[in-house]
A and B are shown apart, each in its own frame.
Chain A
Amino acid sequence: AQSVSQHNHHVILSEAASLELGCNYSYGGTVNLFWYVQYPGQHLQLLLKYFSGDPLVKGIKGFEAEFIKSKFSFNLRKPSVQWSDTAEYFCAVNAPLSGNTPLVFGKGTRLSVIA
């Protein structure tokens, strides 16, 4: 079964600091990869996704993620965080060649940005 690991449970950064959130998955075949964000009190929204092509994916609000197949990783990055980036971030994966497999989510990383 697929699994997704997000190693950081809670990250605290000052405004303007750079961000990198780790995501590793266990599946060895072709994967679709997603990062979702949940702002306080809100529902999940898509930040970015990777299906194929350029492994460096750019999303909304200045976020990007890099797919490194050899490391089974899809880390999320942002060069300079803002207070409004305070949220919980979820990595998710599914396997398009394995039938109708639903998305598997990581446990999430809570990001707190302080002034």
Chain B
Amino acid sequence: NAGVTQTPKFRVLKTGQSMTLLCAQDMNHEYMYWYRQDPGMGLRLIHYSVGEGTTAKGEVPDGYNVSRLKKQNFLLGLESAAPSQTSVYFCASSRTGLETQYFGPGTRLLVL
């Protein structure tokens, strides 16, 4: 039982490049989330999903897209990376929207 896993762990991009971050969970959770963590800002919700095939915007969705084609996976895409997207990205999942969220180990992204 791996819990929540994230791929990759670390990535360096040039401005304008695109990439996809993958989150996978093996707990059969309905809800999945993408956050970004920046110093002094805490965790800010980018997008979330309440079930397979659904997505919703969070607090800071601009510049990101997501897809939830399979229940266990939640993908975060950056179509044209900007230096402002340099951050640590955490994925989380929960059984329902009100219960404990379980977090992945994070992806550190540097955009030059």
Contacts and interface: CB of A to CB of B under 8 A. Distances in A.
Chain A at the B interface: mostly helix, strand, loop or mixed? loop
Given A43-B103, A43-B105, A45-B103, A102 B42 contact: no
B43 A105 contact: yes
A94 B104 contact: no
B56 to A, nearest CB: 8
Contacts, number: 45
By size class, the interface of chain A is 20 to 34
A107 interface: yes
A49 B100 contact: yes
B97 A101 contact: yes
B43 A90 contact: yes
Interface residues of B, number: 21
Contacts of A94: 97-98
Nearest to A91: B42
A105 B105 CA distance: 18
Contacts of B58: 102
Contacts of A107: 40-42
A42 B105 contact: yes
Contact of A102 (B41, B45, B104): B45
Nearest first, the 7 A-B pairs at minimum CB distance are A107-B42, A43-B103, A44-B103, A105-B43, A100-B97, A108-B42, A96-B98
Given A32-B98, A102-B58, 6 more contacts: A9-B40, A43-B103, A44-B43, A90-B42, A94-B98, A106-B42
13 contacts: A34-B100, A36-B103, A43-B105, A43-B106, A44-B101, A44-B103, A46-B100, A49-B100, A94-B97, A105-B42, A106-B42, A107-B41, A108-B42
